[in-house]
Structure 1
């Protein structure tokens, strides 16, 4: 299947799906992430692993590129693209935007609006090692196999049991919730 076919299929599935709604904005600080696909032999998702720094709140955690919405951001979507560039060097012109996956809340009163798109791989990935230790490319099929094997399909496990191990890392917490939702929406059609 070619990239334009994936875009069409993903766009249709994401637009027609029900996504987690936004919470009361007075109770949560707005943040944004970009669940970014790219294609070599198969659909692959781009993740970052936060830096291994003493005292860093997100030390060693797996995440999608993203961060806080700033006052200078025109929208939450624009914040997701700004953060994507700041954390990976990927510019928005090289991403085919697909849509929003909805809102996911953290235990630390953050509302994360997750967006998704497809990267054309025309950028060289660069990142600041003070914040990010590495960028990982995880085949979507690997995440889907874990999803099925662990019985996650069709229901939402509690946050303590929902994990997606990959090689020497584990995707957990709100990032695992976003992965779970993404798989539930498009997993069977990719």
Structure 2
């Protein structure tokens, strides 16, 4: 292992997340959650998807598995785990949830809670072709490098927004997904 490599133990020691909530709290109506899956490899990776081009919203964009909270979901953690199972066949029982990041508001008006979880490297992904065009992994150490993200300031409906942009291989990572990864990086304790 090189001095520049990041192990899962180092990641867990460096980051401070909000602890997983055991029960749901009173939430606004338009709630959603995404799973931020960290694959437990010797050099951990971040699992991402490219959304199907046939989708009505956010078609072809790089994203985390996730979606809208169902009335049957007892918490946003359950929502993130259910959506990850539906989209890429990650069994909820195999996800070790380590916490959540602060919720962000999507351009479609949803409050989205990122749920960070560790998944074993033995999981075989099966993309739901109706929702996911591709599943790929990005080295966690590279994902967390703040210098890889560029800011773009835009005005939409009279409101200023800062959008984060980045490339990984042939994938354009931007918007909420890039912002969530960048926020995960900012959770570094002492860096």
- Structure 1 and Structure 2 fold alike (TM over 0.5): yes
Partner of 1:118: 118
Aligned pair partner of 1:171 in 146, 170, 173: 173
Aligned pair partner of 1:185 in 169, 184, 187: 187
State how far apart, in whole Å, the 2-side matches of 1:150 and 1:75 are.
31
Change (3 A) 1:88 1:59: same
Partner of 2:13: 9
* Structure with the higher fraction of residues in helix conformation: 1
List structure 1 segments (4+ residues) > 6 angstroms apart after TM superposition: none
Partner of 1:46: 47
Normalised by the length of structure 2, the TM-score is 0.79
1:101-160 Cα distance to aligned partner (Å, 9 max, x none): 120001211110111011013332111112110001011222233x225577xxxxx533
- Deviation of 1:70 (Å): 0.3
Describe the SS at the equivalent of 2:113. strand
1:84-105 Cα distance to aligned partner (Å, 9 max, x none): 1111111122111101112000
Q: Which aligned pairs between 1:14-163 and structure 2 lie closer than 5 A?
A: 14-15=17-18, 25=28, 29-53=30-54, 56-145=56-145, 147-148=146-147, 158-160=161-163, 162-163=164-165
Segment of structure 1 superposing worse, 120-129 or 43-52: 120-129
Describe the SS at the equivalent of 1:14. coil
State how far apart, in whole Å, the 1-side matches of 2:70 and 2:81 are.
12
Normalised by the length of structure 1, the TM-score is 0.79
State how far apart, in whole Å, the 2-side matches of 1:108 and 1:116 are.
22
Q: Is the 8 A contact 1:14 1:186 kept in 2?
A: no
State how far apart, in whole Å, the 2-side matches of 1:130 and 1:187 are.
39
* Structure with the higher fraction of residues in strand conformation: 2
- Deviation of 1:15 (Å): 4.0
Describe the SS at the equivalent of 2:102. strand
The RMSD of aligned alpha carbons is 2.7
Q: Is the 8 A contact 1:66 1:80 kept in 2?
A: yes
Q: Which runs of 5+ in 1 are unaligned?
A: 17-23, 153-157
